[in-house]
Structure 1
Amino acid sequence: MTAPALIALAHGSRDPRSAATVSALVDATKALRPDLRIEKAFLDLAKPGFHTVVDRLVKAGYDEIVVVPLLLVEAFHARVDVPEAIAEATARHPGLQIRATQVLGLEPRFLEVLDERLREALSGARVRELDALVLAAAGTSDPLANQAVARLARLWGTHHRLPVTAAYATSAPPATGEAVRAFRAEGRRHIAVASLFLAPGNLVDRATELALEAGAVAVSEPLGAHPEIARTILARYAVGAVELVPV
């Protein structure tokens, strides 16, 4: 019996660095499970599109697909865009079963990836002292999703015994620059920013620019194609594959 195919589904961006990062992440996932059929796809703004990949898998004989949304928060894209795309695909292919898993989410173990990326940034900037941290995320109009980021920031701060503020690139205050300036107003001068984004793009660039202008000593790269992210994709897939098994 053939295992269900896995589609790692990203939102998509006009920035080619984003698609390249998704490709690298999918390659890292394939390296962990070479026995699985694993494909990348995008909801918008990049290729291949979701329906193109579904058509390819159906043509190859797959009638079960597990979709893992490459999203860090459970917001509009996860609640609306992904289900709509799946509903359209199953309507076009009678007999096809597609199961969407939970999003990647804000796993506490992702803090280890953040730490790794931040250490790289601190080393590059020759920074050895910190007295505050900012956790920069995309932001959303969904307050629950933003609160999830804030909770992760508090957990991160407790781990490092440093004050931490969550900041957002869109839809919610504070922006990264505002967060850095607020810490500086308290007399803190060694403030680093960790990028809680999956891949590079315009939002990351703007958040970085604002943070550095405000006086941040370093800003990390996004999470990227880290093995921990790849393992999380496979963990989500495992749950989705079980849910496809008839009871």
Structure 2
Amino acid sequence: MMTDFSSLLQLDREVLTMLVSAYSSYAIYLDEGQSDDFPTIAGSYMKAAGYVMFYDQAAARKWFSRAREYFTRAADTYSIIAAICCYQSPDMEPGPDLPFYQLLCSYFKDAPADITAYQEPVGRLQIPIRLYIEAFEATEEATQAADLPAAWKPLLTRMHTRPRLLSKDTRRWRSLEGTINPIEPETIATCVTLLTVALRQGITLESIEEIMTQQKDVAFIAVKIALLLNADPTPPPHTGCNPA
């Protein structure tokens, strides 16, 4: 079942649909034409996914998967973000200069990682990695779905700071002038990883969905989208490994 979040975020559904059509059509045109411009194909699929996820999560899952494929072909580590957004295990390894990607891979795969840049702002949103680590650690300590909102709210609120500021310019926000990303794919990848950790803890998908319906803060919309992007709610196996 798909959910339309565009009105909750005060986005123009027609503009979203137009952008999705433009980016996906261009990506498909290059793809079917056997173009070797892999970065452009990947970026176009990623843009299409980033806009369509607000009203058609099944389509978003498909475009994220295609973006993952072409980012990988382009040897671009943004493939990691695209993969996690569609609940696929990343097929690229982040280098030591990408602690945020290391962190996501570590928790998504339940494998150890050496995170050294603890206080550095990371990712496109330039958020201190400490906030991500604290959210993941709190999720590992959670025993029920009711524990999750408090564990996630500090990070979700910080990730929603930029969209909140951008939305103050109502006209530009609704029309997505400058191809604004209302919610960054990195935010969705983070939410997918948080959900993956929670499921691995034995917290049921149904209980998470129920507790999320009670969250009215728009910062939680990213989690709700991440829930709907999951075609297979079976959590990855627990290996007993934790980030170093």
TM-score after normalising by structure 2: 0.23
More strand by share: 1
More helix by share: 2
TM-score after normalising by structure 1: 0.23
Say which one has the larger Rg: 1
